[in-house]
Structure 1
Amino acid sequence: MLKRSRDEGVLNHLIMVDDEGSLALPDDSQRLSAVENHKKWVEAARLLGCKTIRVNLHGEGSSADKKMASIDSLSRLGEFAKTMNINVVVENHGSDSSNGAWIASVMQQVGMPNVGTLPDFGNFCISHPWGQTQDPCVEMYDRYQGVEEMLPFAKGVSAKTYDFDAQGEQPKMDYKRLLDIVKKSGFKGYIGIEFEGNTQPEADGIRQTKALIERYW
């Protein structure tokens, strides 16, 4: 994979890590096993020339308990990753992790330069466990507030889009407002494109997302 990337002039930058265990579980035995499971992806990131791995803060219990568990997990991963000059970032991905203030508090208490956030323009439903996205969202965190709260710790931004309208805009969100928030924050890293539409080919949606970003950036 590394040879292919180099041959094609592709820069490997970020690995999205899923299904390696829950980092926000109050149960120490399960959570510390999840921390260990994530470490191989830090090593893979170094091998592939990446700068960052993205993790999730999934778990069970009260928000306070999950916060303390998350702080411990990220601190352990951050210590391991800093020896390889790798960042560990958290994406808003349902439940408490979609609460921008909660994520910001976790980051402040971890307080490590290589531990940060990956604000996603979507994923602000906090009313159901992640993975049941077909259910109606009962409580939605304000996406503009959430992005703004996460940006001080951001080491990447995920420009999520859904189905486009006839004007090439996003009916579910004010994209100009979101990008203005990112610009105002002084963010200088990569903006990743993530298209989740259902009515058009993915390649077309990716190109339309790129055009929408360029229109307002």
Structure 2
Amino acid sequence: MDTSRRTFLKSSALLAGGVSAIPAALLGETAEESAETTKTQAKIRNRIGVSSYSFWGFQRKDLRPMDVCLEHAARMGFDGVEILQRQLEKTDNATLQKIKRQAFVLGLDLMGYSTHQGFLSPDAEKRGKNYQHTLDCLRQAHALGIPTMRVNSGTWGTSKSFDELMKNRGVEKPLPGHTEEEAYQWVIDAYGKLAEEAEKLGVVMGLENHWGLGCTPEGVKRVVDAVKSPWLQVTLDTGNFLEDPYERLSMLAPQTVLLQAKTYYGGGRWYTLDLDYARIADIMHKANFRGYVSLEFEGKEDPLKAIPESLAMLRKHF
């Protein structure tokens, strides 16, 4: 295979999103050239962002305003910010454009929009309201110039509280008289239609391993693979697989468009995971992940102290 053909194939793989490496045989590479390709993958440097949730955490009123979070993120040296949609007190266009302008002036990418929705309900009207909310969020992300948006399957709502859900390791029973098989169809139907809208707006949705059907990598993959759209991929959270995380993270790494990296300085509020980020970075780089890593600090330590410490750690590995 000539050099120009080989270069074209490699470039095409990157433009397609870098989902996986092309086998050496397909490229016509020798063993030495294949080793060089592997070495190149090992040199991947990911940009590091921070979720606004890391500052606010639903607790610190003084750190809720988005302009405050953006100033801190720029001062600390982050490359971008992922906005938690629930943190915004207003989502009118004037507010969104003000946020976008400030981020630009500060040299920050607005690189992720983290949203909440739920489709695990037999009530078609309730699912419809969640569909409309998700569509509104897609439009907000588009207005902000954000390329990817975190989405969820939602939960059954049979837990009395989030604390109870966490006590049960994120697992809950379906509503009486209903099954997970029904739930998968509700979620697949919703995201099949939403993927068409996401394409029009140019915003890639990332289904997160975030409780509900997202408790397992198999659950996330089942939805994403059924929708079969490049506009529904995976937002991968390092802290949401509470057992055997590395094997599970590996299963979703090839379809990941945004990696949310949890840290727990000072101990976690619901649980603490001792995550090996050297190992996680290796998993992601072997999958040729070149996208953003978004810090989600979820510890009890002062975020203004713990967030820079988390950034230094992530820079070391990514």
TM-score class, shorter: 0.7 to 0.9
In 1: Cα distance, 2:317 partner to 2:101 partner: 36
| Unmatched segments (≥5 aa) in structure 1 | 125-139
Task: After TM superposition, give the deviation of residue 14 of structure 1 in Å.
Answer: 1.1
The corresponding residue for 2:150 is 54
Q: TM-score, normalised by structure 2?
A: 0.57
Aligned to 1:3: 101
Is the Cα contact below 8 Å between 2:206 and 2:235 reproduced in 1?
yes
Contact 2:151 2:207 in 1 (8 A): yes
Shift of 1:204: 2.3
Rg (Cα) greater in structure? 2
Letter in 1 for 2:123: D
Q: For residue 136 of structure 1, what is the aligned residue in structure 2?
A: none
Q: In angstroms, what is the RMSD of aligned CA positions?
A: 1.9
Residues in 2 aligned to 1:72 and 1:24: alpha-carbon distance in whole angstroms: 12
Equivalent residue number for residue 274 of structure 2: 172
Q: Which amino acid aligns with 1:44?
A: Q
Secondary structure of 1:70's counterpart equals helix
What are the equivalent positions in structure 2 for 1:110-189 lying under 5 Å apart?
Answer: 110-124=227-241, 140-163=242-265, 172-189=274-291
Deviating more after overlay: 1-10 vs 28-37: 1-10
What's 2:123 paired with? Answer: 27
Cα distance, 1:214–1:106 mapped onto 2, change above 3 Å: same
Query: Which letter does structure 2 place at the counterpart of 1:212?
Result: M
C-alpha displacement at 1:31, in angstroms? 1.0
Q: Is the 8 A contact 2:207 2:224 kept in 1?
A: no
Partner of 2:306: 205
TM-score, with normalisation over the residues of structure 1? 0.82
Amino acid at match of 2:112: L
1:44 corresponds in structure 2 to: 140
Match of 1:94 in 2: 211
Report the count of equivalent residues: 195
Task: Give the number of the structure with larger relative contact order, counting CA–CA contacts within 8 Å between residues 6 or more apart.
Answer: 2
Aligned to 2:94: none
Map Cα deviations across residues 131-162 of structure 1 (whole Å, 9 max, x no partner).
Answer: xxxxxxxxx44211221122222110001111
Distance 1:164 1:153, change over 3 A: same
Give me the whole-angstrom Cα distance separating, in 2, the residues matched to 1:203 and 1:76. Answer: 40
1:94-141 per-position Cα deviation (integer Å, ceiling 9, x unaligned): 2331201111111111110011111111022xxxxxxxxxxxxxxx44
Contact 1:164 1:171 in 2 (8 A): no
Tell me if structure 2 keeps the 8 A contact 1:26–1:59.
no
Residue segments in structure 2 that go unaligned for 5+ positions in a row: 1-98, 157-173
Q: 2:103 is aligned with what amino acid?
A: S
